[in-house]
Structure 1
Amino acid sequence: MDVKKNGEVSFWHADMGGLPGYRPALPGDISVDICIVGAGFTGLWTAYYLHEADPSLKIAVVEKNFAGYGASGRNGGWCSGEFSWSRDRYLSTGSREGVIEFERQLRSTVAEVQRVTEKEGIDCDFLMTDCLSYAQSPAQFDRLQKSYEEAMSWQVPTTRLEMIGAAEASERIRVDRAHGALVRHGVARVQPAKLVRGLAKVVEKRGVTIYEQTEVTRIEKGLVTTARGKVRAKKIVRATEGYTHGIPGNEREWIPMNSAIIVTEPLPDALWDQIGWKDSQLLADGAHAYCYAQRTREGRIAMGGRGVPYRFGSRTDTNGVTQPATIGMLKDILYKILPQTRGLALDHAWCGVLGVPRDWCTSSGMDPKTGIGWAGGYVGLGVSTSNFSGQTLADLVLEKDTIRTSLPWVNRRPRKWEVEPFRWLGIHGMYQLYHMADAREARAGGKKTSAFATLANKLTGR
């Protein structure tokens, strides 16, 4: 499949003029108050809120590559304030009121990210907008309607959802065969590499030291061991998300799920008029295999999906290079949703990994015995959730008793993933069933949800 660039970490870095230069590596053994492992959104937001709470703290962030190398600089740019998965699952560690408060707080992160970027002068193409999940069949519309009804039944004060019919949905974006859409208000589009690299500069100016080119080989009580030296710290935060499996002792904690994105050439105004995509809404579909898209600042379409969902043994990509078959699949999805785009050239394609827990629910926490904290397992919703992680981890590190530290995602410990080859078989089996479900629904006119999708969910506990 023809694409001008494949990999090179992501288009978002290319959009900034290319990959950044490296900050200095750890110079040897040091001692600090707090050591944060990972210079992505989770680690940098944690550093930001810790410094705000106590500017006297000596904080070091250690990063294997450069700030924003992982998912924080590769994602689809959705700042949505959404749950990672079922609300009901959090009832095992909290009350209904606690789950509702958790969701309310997550919703507020979109405005919080906007507040900080404006206060700190981070230009990241932040734009408040809506997210439209389109149904291209009656079965997809029914699933979106059930999702809407389930969300509304929780009566979260800041839930701003509505279902719209085919005519109104087509007025917003002329998606092919639109039967309607689920609209989420109060979300935002961002350029993620601009956000993460801007946040890194902000915490550096505040006195936080970021050591790049510094691979962590072990985390234990009071000590982070790296290939460059040892960091002794009173408190440690593991902010490695999709790369957590690489830390000894965490190999089956969260699996690195793959996601890939393509970016088109800039669209001419006449084509945008044909599509009707005027207000830079975020775009998704109601298929089981799922895709996500945004209209970028300079008028491109960035569209993502799972592609090859998981590599055997939790292997990760090489600088974002993705498979030609994945690029072809994403291009087909783009044509299926927006056939007006046929003939557009693809300027860039890449992939990255996101952290997925066994119960598909994000968590944060702090072990009081070891002084080691963590957050992640965002299942693809990390742009906003990582901000809330930073706020929560700052409270936990500083041993503050707050509303955030009492929420049901704190200190949640799902069971670990199966050993290989069972987790590879399970994940690939799940997505194969999703693709089969989408194909069967299409052949049957999309009138009824396929049983293959239900089987897929049962297979992996999604």
Structure 2
Amino acid sequence: MKRGDISFWLTRPGAPAPPSTRTLAQDIDCDVAIVGGGLSGLWVAWALAQQNPSLSVVVLEAERLGFGASGRNGGWMSAKQVGVRRALARGAGGTQAVTQMQDRLEQACTEVVDILGADEIDARHGGWTQLARTKNELRRAENYVAEARRWNVDESSMRLMSAEEAYERIHAQGLMGAIHSPHNYCVDPVKMVFRLASLAMEAGATVYTGARVTGIEPGRLRVGRHRVNARQVVVATEGYTASQPGQRRRMLPLNSSMLVTEPLTPQQWERVGWEHHDGVSATAHTYFHSERTPDGRIAIGGRGRPYRFGSRTDRNGVVDEATVKSLMRVIDDLFPGLGAEPAHAWCGVIGVTRDWSPFLDYDSSAQLLRMGGYAGQGLTASYLAGLAAADLLTGRKSFLSTSAWVRPVPRRWEPEPLRWVGANGFYLAYSLADRLEAASRSDKTSVIARIADKIAAR
């Protein structure tokens, strides 16, 4: 079994070749310089080129295309709520702005597929299904849907399923019910980022790889010994923001791990079901997400080792043995006796703000925009954030440029060692809550989980 090597999507047999990019070999001038060549940065570049083809737009990627979360994720492009509704509703626009953004997320899923092309990114539409397998999880699922109704999410966008309906979609053991939404596509993450990069460059943007930005000032960036002079600067570094000077506590690089199995046999797939291309997840506190890949594997993700001291990140996605075993236990628990074998495991980081909600913070006097904080919902959120960023940079007033996401960067995370104790302690608390609930006859959420939710501001 392979571990690390960035991700399965980048190194699998038949993986697509990246589009040709440039190497920065001299000082350059441009209208807009974008730090970070993941989905956020590329969507900003694409959107700017659509709005004003005369702009010179430069994207600076420290590594290679697909190196970060854009190339390591689980392949869900969903309309799940991005951020914490209560936190976002405190801003301009209040609750109405939050509910309108939810409608926009649902539209965004289809728009992205239309722009990039379903075949180009292996987009498979099946929605998402969140399983409930204990009384506690079923009650939590019911409460989740009831809360969504209070934010104007109707039956056509999200509904409860009976155990029988859920089993028809996936033959998991012990089903008591599920939540289902039609608003999700499963995609190939690397094909998605490569396709977007190609479209951005075709529209006129220039993408540099191996261009690590070591200094950020209004109007000027340092890339090794070279300078990039720009009228406007966008920082779209998401989970890697903490590596920048003075930004260590702005965004928590929360670890997320992934595993794909060897291809299952037709007999194994008959046992599993899963014929509708759903993204499948859990209502347990220790969340997992999964999909069926086009070549017949199970791809599953979870937290694993949640956080590294000092906001450090992984080395090329190398994941520990305990995380591999943990993810395989989830598969074995869902489908006892299936006999699936692990093929490749890796990890990466997602960017999480202190209030678990996204932001676009634009300083018009310095012509500097910082963006991110999607907390694992970046495949769809990055598209809308990219459009919003382009509107802000060009002075175009729109729904997105005045949305609930346009706000200052949230307050900083706690200093170490509190940050490490908190992030890892919460994961242990949620794991314990899951075990206690599984052994309980009650349908109430564990008090441990309720306290953890309150402290974490989730």
TM over 0.5: yes
3-state secondary structure, aligned to 1:134: strand
Opposite residue 433 of structure 1, the aligned amino acid is A
Counterpart selection for 2:15 from 17, 28, 46: 17
Counterpart selection for 2:124 from 123, 127, 131: 127
Task: State the 1:173 CA deviation.
Answer: 0.6
| Equivalences for residues 105-254 of structure 1 within 5 A | 105-118=104-117, 123-156=120-153, 160-254=157-251
3-state secondary structure, aligned to 2:141: helix
1:304 aligns with 2:301: yes
Counterpart selection for 1:54 from 46, 52, 55: 52
Change (3 A) 1:461 1:13: same
Task: State the 1:112 CA deviation.
Answer: 1.1
3-state secondary structure, aligned to 2:120: coil
Opposite residue 192 of structure 1, the aligned amino acid is P
3-state secondary structure, aligned to 2:121: coil
How many residues are aligned here? 456
Counterpart selection for 1:88 from 79, 86, 92: 86
3-state secondary structure, aligned to 1:302: strand
Consecutive unaligned residues of structure 1, counting only runs of 5 or more, are none
Report the counterpart of residue 70 of structure 1 in structure 2.
68
1:454 aligns with 2:458: no
3-state secondary structure, aligned to 1:339: coil
| Equivalences for residues 252-291 of structure 1 within 5 A | 252-291=249-288
C-alpha distance after superposition, 1:311-352 (max 9, x if no partner): 0001101111111101111111111122243x2211100000
Report the counterpart of residue 96 of structure 2 in structure 1.
97
- 1:290 and 1:136 map into 2 onto residues whose CA distance is 13
1:6 aligns with 2:9: no
Paired residues of 1:274 and 1:340 also in contact (CA < 8 A): no
Report the counterpart of residue 407 of structure 1 in structure 2.
403
C-alpha distance after superposition, 1:187-239 (max 9, x if no partner): 11100011001111221222211111111111111111111411111111111
Task: State the 1:85 CA deviation.
Answer: 3.1
- 1:184 and 1:410 map into 2 onto residues whose CA distance is 27
Paired residues of 1:259 and 1:307 also in contact (CA < 8 A): yes
Paired residues of 1:23 and 1:66 also in contact (CA < 8 A): no
- 1:190 and 1:403 map into 2 onto residues whose CA distance is 27
RMSD of equivalent CA atoms = 1.6
Task: State the 1:91 CA deviation.
Answer: 1.6
Paired residues of 1:122 and 1:198 also in contact (CA < 8 A): no
- With 404-413 and 32-41 compared, the bigger mean Cα shift is at 404-413
Paired residues of 1:140 and 1:446 also in contact (CA < 8 A): no
Report the counterpart of residue 29 of structure 1 in structure 2.
27
Opposite residue 83 of structure 2, the aligned amino acid is W
3-state secondary structure, aligned to 1:39: coil
Opposite residue 77 of structure 1, the aligned amino acid is G
Paired residues of 2:19 and 2:197 also in contact (CA < 8 A): no
Paired residues of 2:16 and 2:191 also in contact (CA < 8 A): no
Opposite residue 68 of structure 1, the aligned amino acid is G
Opposite residue 410 of structure 1, the aligned amino acid is V
Paired residues of 2:9 and 2:15 also in contact (CA < 8 A): no
- With 329-338 and 81-90 compared, the bigger mean Cα shift is at 81-90
- 2:33 and 2:11 map into 1 onto residues whose CA distance is 30
- With 356-365 and 94-103 compared, the bigger mean Cα shift is at 94-103
Consecutive unaligned residues of structure 2, counting only runs of 5 or more, are none
- 1:378 and 1:249 map into 2 onto residues whose CA distance is 21
Change (3 A) 1:52 1:20: closer
C-alpha distance after superposition, 1:149-171 (max 9, x if no partner): 11012214796011011111111
Task: State the 1:266 CA deviation.
Answer: 0.8
3-state secondary structure, aligned to 2:74: coil
Change (3 A) 1:408 1:136: same
Paired residues of 2:10 and 2:66 also in contact (CA < 8 A): no
Change (3 A) 1:228 1:125: farther
Paired residues of 1:174 and 1:276 also in contact (CA < 8 A): yes
Task: State the 1:21 CA deviation.
Answer: 8.7
- 2:275 and 2:320 map into 1 onto residues whose CA distance is 32
Task: State the 1:412 CA deviation.
Answer: 3.5
Paired residues of 1:22 and 1:213 also in contact (CA < 8 A): no
- 2:321 and 2:4 map into 1 onto residues whose CA distance is 11
Task: State the 1:299 CA deviation.
Answer: 0.9
Paired residues of 1:431 and 1:456 also in contact (CA < 8 A): no
Task: State the 1:18 CA deviation.
Answer: 7.5
Paired residues of 1:144 and 1:182 also in contact (CA < 8 A): yes
- 2:374 and 2:31 map into 1 onto residues whose CA distance is 27
- 1:18 and 1:59 map into 2 onto residues whose CA distance is 25
Task: State the 1:283 CA deviation.
Answer: 0.3
Paired residues of 2:50 and 2:203 also in contact (CA < 8 A): no
3-state secondary structure, aligned to 2:281: strand
- 2:299 and 2:90 map into 1 onto residues whose CA distance is 37
Task: State the 1:285 CA deviation.
Answer: 0.9
Task: State the 1:106 CA deviation.
Answer: 1.8
Counterpart selection for 1:332 from 313, 324, 329: 329
- TM-score computed with the length of structure 1 as normaliser: 0.96
- 1:22 and 1:317 map into 2 onto residues whose CA distance is 26
- 1:152 and 1:246 map into 2 onto residues whose CA distance is 40
Paired residues of 2:360 and 2:408 also in contact (CA < 8 A): yes
Paired residues of 2:74 and 2:300 also in contact (CA < 8 A): yes
Task: State the 1:365 CA deviation.
Answer: 2.7
